[in-house]
Structure 1
Amino acid sequence: MKIKTKYFDEVEINEEDIITFQNGLPGFLEEKQFVLMNLEETVFQVLQSVTTKALAFIVVNPFGFKSDYSFELDDQVVEQLKIESSDDVSILSIVTLRDTLAASTANLKAPLVINVKEKEGKQYIIQKTDDSTKEYIFKTVNQKEDK
């Protein structure tokens, strides 16, 4: 199937690659179907709405820049996403792009949890965490000192 995208113009996608967010995403509750697309030669991906060309989020694997990142999913989310094994799960963080890539941040307080096997996803808001909604992806000396 062909979709129009924010960053790649019109592309062909496999319907099997569509990830369903049953409750949408906060602020976009009507948007329920997305596809992940790679940004070549980067650590970033694009979570593109299947139905709305302008709705696309830059996302990144948070474990790539914060190795001690962790949280526990509650049983309700595990059941909702039909998670049977940790191998079925992909965790992504939505990126806020700044003027420079070094100043860009990722939301670690509300990761996207995706069951890659079942193609079900949810943005999970972590209640008790010291992680930030604006965690620097590329830490510089000054940013490390700010923490």
Structure 2
Amino acid sequence: MKPVYSLLVISLMWSCKNDTTKPEVPITQNPMNEELTDTRNYEADGNFEEDVYTYERKTDSINENWNLNNPERQMGLYARFNMSDAQQEKYETALSNWFQSQTNEPYEKLGTTTRIEAEDSILKPILDEHQYENYQAWAQDNDKR
């Protein structure tokens, strides 16, 4: 019995010495958010506030203000600066001439800077001094490049 006893003691010591088990990590539960999980405070029609979304059309943006071909923009331009019929006709003629000119570089006409400069050069001889000053102030206010 003595050899069995000594073998048992040696195996016990050997097993305790070479313990490779991972240390036990205490298990903690995630704290719960009471406000998110509390379902006791409901109303008959629900607790949801009505979200009202309004779509506001952007006005005076680069795309709208510097799209020189836009008829609505042209009508607004005529009304804003009180252009006479003769001025309107001169503006439309000069604008169509500008679009038909410079056919070698058509992509230059797509840039906002080019359009602003072109419209300024078109309107300068057409508008009177007061109208042109108002136009320059308006163009500067709406130049958001």
* Same-fold call, TM cutoff 0.5: no
Greater length-normalized contact order (CA 8 Å, ≥ 6 residues apart): 2
Structure with more strand by fraction: 1
